[in-house]
Amino acid sequence: MALSDRLIKAWYDGHPALSLLTPLEALYRRVVQRKRQRFVAGEGEIYRAAVPVIVVGNITVGGTGKTPMILWLIEQCQKRGLKVGVVSRGYGATPPSLPWRVAAEQSAAVAGDEPLLIVQRSGVPLMIDPDRGRAVQALLEAEPLDLILSDDGLQHYRLARDLELVLVDAARGFGNQRCLPAGPLREPMERLQSVDALLYNGATSDPEGAYAFTLQPTQLINLCSGEAHPLNHFPAGQAVHAVAGIGNPQRFFNTLEALHWQVNAHAFADHAPYSRELLNFSPDLPVIMTEKDAVKCRAFAADDWWYLAVDAQPSQAFAHWFDAQLSALLQAR
């Protein structure tokens, strides 16, 4: 087990050695709390866009379903006739310059896997830059937009925001509720008191004071042909190789097992690079991966490689709440 895997296990299952990290945790907390205090006080360089900005993020390390939720939010905004743009840090991307406009035909190495997935799925204008304020500014100069969604960026306090949505993995929660490096939190738990909405990925009903959403598998897409097939394309009991390089690979493997396939799990680091040789598994079985992984594998995919398309399905209560928030934001501007 890699060091990072052991640390994550300790965060969620507990380990006495974490007490050794208490001084570093205290230092980390002071730094992030000071950044937050300066932002609230309006100190420092903070970019405020001429259109509403909605940040979708989390306070924990690891995946919580942000990309599917971003796609759902895009769809809801477009249903109202709004022109939506997205900004992202572009983790792992190597663009020639910054800020960088992502196009569907670019490679994941240039654009980043999550930004490329969003553009290929939705076609929205998307700009990557670690400086998200600069990304928003560049996007607004390039496109007439009504609203900006920030993919992650909850802790990026150089960008003003009108709405903060925080996603939580319902199964893992907040672990030991300690900050890095002694726990999985990017910010202390008190930060949740100031956000606009909490959404729990995998919750079966709305928790008190929060909302539930699930990731629903919809179809299998062949990486080579692009053909879509229903989920019963593989019968129950089919053995498959499952590939997941996301924040919480086990969630993907659990989804495949719930579809009654026999899963040979292959977990990789979040944003991991791939090659044909790396995914040359034995025995020879169909390979099913996440859509995020697929954008990095199409160029060398074999005929029997697939990705599982999933859609975020938030509760009706959240859908109504978000619609009301959109109305209020647009009227205010």
pLDDT of residue 25: 98
pLDDT exceeds 70 at position 208 = yes
Both tokens assigned to 263: 């899963």
Residues 205 and 251 in one domain: no
Average pLDDT over residues 255-271: 96
Quote the pLDDT of residue 63.
87
Q: Which of 24, 56, 52, 38 is nearest to 318 (CA)?
A: 56
Co-location of 120 and 34 in the same domain? yes
Q: In CATH, what number is assigned to the domain containing residue 326?
A: 3.40.50
Q: Are residues 161 and 286 in the same domain?
A: no
Q: Is there a contact between 142 and 101 (Cβ–Cβ < 8 Å)? A: yes
Statement to judge: residues 48 and 72 lie in one domain: yes
DSSP secondary structure, 21-61, as one string = GHHHHHHHHHHHHHHHHHHHTT-S--B--SS-EEEEE-SBS
What's the maximum distance between 2 C-alpha atoms anywhere in the chain? 59
Whether pLDDT at 3 is above 80: no
- With 60 as the cut, is the pLDDT of residue 18 above it? yes
Q: Count how many domains the chain has.
A: 2
Write out the residue range of the structural domain in which residue 8 sits: 3-212+314-332
CA–CA gap between residue 130 and residue 116 (Å, rounded): 16
Give the pLDDT score at 62.
86
Same domain, residue pair 207 and 236: no
Give yes or no for residue 319 having a pLDDT over 60: yes
Q: How far is CA 307 from the centre of its chain?
A: 17
Q: Are 155 and 35 in contact (CB under 8 A)?
A: yes
Q: Is the pLDDT of residue 278 over 90?
A: yes
Across residues 173-177, what is the average pLDDT? 97
Q: Report pLDDT for 333.
A: 73
Helix (H) or strand (E) holding 293: helix 291-294
pLDDT tops 70 at residue 2: no
The answer to whether residues 263 and 180 belong to one domain is no
The verdict on 295 and 180 lying in the same domain is no
Shared domain check, 68 and 177:
yes
Cα gap 69→71, rounded to integer Å: 5
The CA distance from 276 to 300, in Å, is 6
Answer yes or no: is pLDDT of 1 > 70: no
Alpha-carbon distance of 74 to 117, in angstroms, equals 13
Residue 194: per-residue pLDDT: 97
The arithmetic mean of pLDDT across residues 89-96, rounded, is 94
Confidence (pLDDT) at 247: 86
pLDDT band at 332 (very low <50, low <70, confident <90, very high): confident
Q: Percent of the chain beyond pLDDT 70?
A: 99
Cα(115)–Cα(132) distance, rounded to whole angstroms? Answer: 13
Which amino acid is it at 196? D
Say yes or no: 208 and 324 in one domain: yes
Q: How is 149-183 classified by DSSP, letter by letter?
A: EEES-TT-TTB--SEEEEEEETTTTTTT--BTTTS
Same domain, 207 and 222: no
Compute the average pLDDT of residues 19-38.
97
- What was the pLDDT predicted at 276? 95
Instruction: Count Cβ neighbours within 10 Å for each residue of 285-315 and write b for 16 or more, e otherwise.
Output: ebbbbbbbbbbbbeeebeeebbbbbbebebb
Q: What does the pLDDT read at residue 320?
A: 98
Statement to judge: residues 303 and 327 lie in one domain:
no
Q: Are residues 235 and 206 in the same domain?
A: no
